[in-house]
Amino acid sequence: ITSMIARYTRSSMSEILKEPYIRTSRAKGIHEFWVIMKHTLRNSLIDVVTIVGLQFGFLLAGSVLVETVFTIPGLGRLLIDSILFRDYTVIQVILLIFTLQFILVNLVVDVLYGVLNPKIRYD
């Protein structure tokens, strides 16, 4: 997952480095460190935050698989055991917990959009 995020960050930054406003900020004499940190990285992080938020859903599904295969006690293993024993109440609660976690991560991603780019702020 980390390698994918790093690759995506690199490609996003290389795209943004070709933009005219980066050339303009360099022509104004802004130090290269601040050009990369303030303008390039900040604008490329919008795409990266989106990918990280989407990957969280895959991590939830992966936890169920890993806990089942390696018999690690956790919510994923409890979910599989509840499905096998047809304990519908526990299944509903665990799915509700997973859903709430995913919704909260998406909320954090949406808030980070507004922090990273003030033009995206919701009124």
Residues 6+ apart with CB under 8 A from 98: 60, 75
pLDDT tens per residue across span 90-117: 999 999 999 999 999 999 998 888 888 8
Q: Global pTM?
A: 0.75
From CA 17, how far away is CA 20, in angstroms rounded? Answer: 8
Based on the structure, what is the number of domains in the chain? 1
pLDDT tens per residue across span 38-58: 888 888 888 889 888 888 878
Enclosing domain of residue 30: 2-120
